[in-house]
Amino acid sequence: MGKTVCIISLTPVTDEPRVLRQSKALADAGWTVVVAGFRGRQAPPPHWRYIEVEHVYEARRLVENLKLDWKRRFSPYSGQFAEDYYWSQAGYDGIFEHIATIENVRCDLAIAHDYFTAPIAAKLAALSGGVYSVDCHEFSFEQYMHDPKWIKRERPWVHAMEKRFLPGASVVTTVCDGIADALQTTYQLPKRPTVVRSTAFYHDLPYRPVGEKIEVLYHGIVSPMRGLEQTIESVKLWNPEYHFVIRGPGPDDYIASLNALADQHGVAGRVRIDPPVAFNEMVPRANEADIGFFVQPDISRQKRFTLPNKFFEYVQARLALCVADLPEMARLVKEHDLGILVPKITPESIAQQINSLTREKINAFKHASMKAAQALSWQSEAAVMLRAYGIEPAAAREAENAGA
């Protein structure tokens, strides 16, 4: 009998790129794949057994809330207090019961996406006689360092949760070397987390030379702390042929504020905010642009070591890249000659770098993305993940060939 994996990601999971790639590689390796998460915009893939979950909040009396808050405050001194506080929040106990009891899931491997699903995965693994793994998308200990309230209230608890669950995981994976080193040092892990980069599926897309209008694209979650405000302000300093497109999901009020900012700076005609597209359409739609763009401030190790999905999606879309001069992205930009780096997250610095991109340079960087697309694809990266889970990648290829 084949093995079963349960992947738990408390996100709109059918739209979650890392889960979609991860599950496909495991299914191709012959595993039965169960995925639990929130409903997304698109239908789940056919190789999933999909379990839709949701947060169910329960009202508690004041005295109960006071006891729980006391446990949160003392969680840095007691991992059990940290876990007790966890199970009291956001209906996590109900999510576990849904997966384990109502759906009767048993698995050889439970994969938690980030620390806030680790207790569910650990409990499910213990019930199943299997093991659990934690896939860290972020360096969560420093995820919201721009927010003083989070630093004071939540950060100590997050630290306690990761300290409790990361050492017990059979495998810890993360998205880049900087976060792998930070996790190992911070939590004194006996083994360095395995780096599984968030590379995109390979796309066989054509080279598209620059036209009269040059389109600069940001795609991904539309939210603060992603340099979007500074970039919109900088558009008034861009050469007239450059236009800025933002594409992705975000709160209506925040998107409205970005449109208002474009009006304020007189660039509403050169800034367009598009709704999100389905996962399978993201890279082909991005191919319509010329420059893949992403800047964010270096305010913590979490921000400094960013190496997001969109970086690799821009490469698969055969774009030139213009990204922040942060070490993980900068290393790959330089190694493959993919584009240029923005040294400061200011309107003036962004505009200077955008304006330095002549049509000749953009076309050359697009050609470089063409050359790098295979090496920087999920088809190459999946083998790293499978080996981390003790699966020989050749088995995945044999299973795929047998099913062809």
Q: What is the pTM of this model?
A: 0.90
CA–CA distance, 248 with 376 (Å, rounded to integer):
23
Phi, psi of 174 (to 5 degrees): -155, 180
Phi, psi of 63 (to 5 degrees): -65, -35
How are beta strands 320-324 and 32-38 bridged, if at all? Answer: unpaired
- Below-70 pLDDT ranges, the chain: 1, 57, 59-60, 394-404
Two tokens at 264?
């304020």
Looking at residue 398, its pLDDT comes to: 53
Two tokens at 212?
């009269």
What is the C-alpha R_g of the chain? 22
Let me know: does 248 contact 219? Beta carbons within 8 Å: yes
Burial class (CB in 10 A: 0-12, 13-18, 19+), 109: buried
Phi, psi of 189 (to 5 degrees): -70, 135
The helix (run of H) or strand (run of E) holding residue 109 is strand 109-113
Closest to 309 (Cα-Cα) out of 15, 109, 33: 15
Closest to 85 (Cα-Cα) out of 6, 176, 156: 156
CA–CA distance, 235 with 258 (Å, rounded to integer):
13
Q: Rounded to a whole number, what is the largest CA-CA distance in the chain?
A: 67
CB atoms within 10 A of CB 178: 21
Domains and CATH numbers, the chain: 4-199+378-403 (3.40.50.2000), 214-372 (3.40.50.2000)
The helix (run of H) or strand (run of E) holding residue 173 is strand 171-174
Looking at residue 402, its pLDDT comes to: 46
Mapped to the 3 state alphabet, what secondary structure does 199-252 carry? CECCCCCCCCCCCCCEEEEEECCCCCCCCHHHHHHHHHHCCCCEEEEEECCCCH
Please write the tens of the pLDDT for every residue from 184-208. Answer: 999 999 999 999 999 999 999 999 9
Let me know: does 172 contact 133? Beta carbons within 8 Å: yes
CA–CA distance, 183 with 131 (Å, rounded to integer):
20
Two tokens at 140?
């969560």
Let me know: does 313 contact 286? Beta carbons within 8 Å: yes
State the residue for tokens 């630290």: 159
CA–CA distance, 376 with 311 (Å, rounded to integer):
10
Torsion sign, CA atoms 105, 394, 197, 312: negative
Strand partners, 109: 5, 131
129 φ/ψ sector (left φ>0, alpha ψ -120 to 50, else beta)? left
Q: Going by C-beta distance under 8 Å and a sequence separation of 6 or more, which residues neighbour residue 11?
A: 19, 37, 38, 40, 113
How are beta strands 131-136 and 109-113 bridged, if at all? Answer: parallel
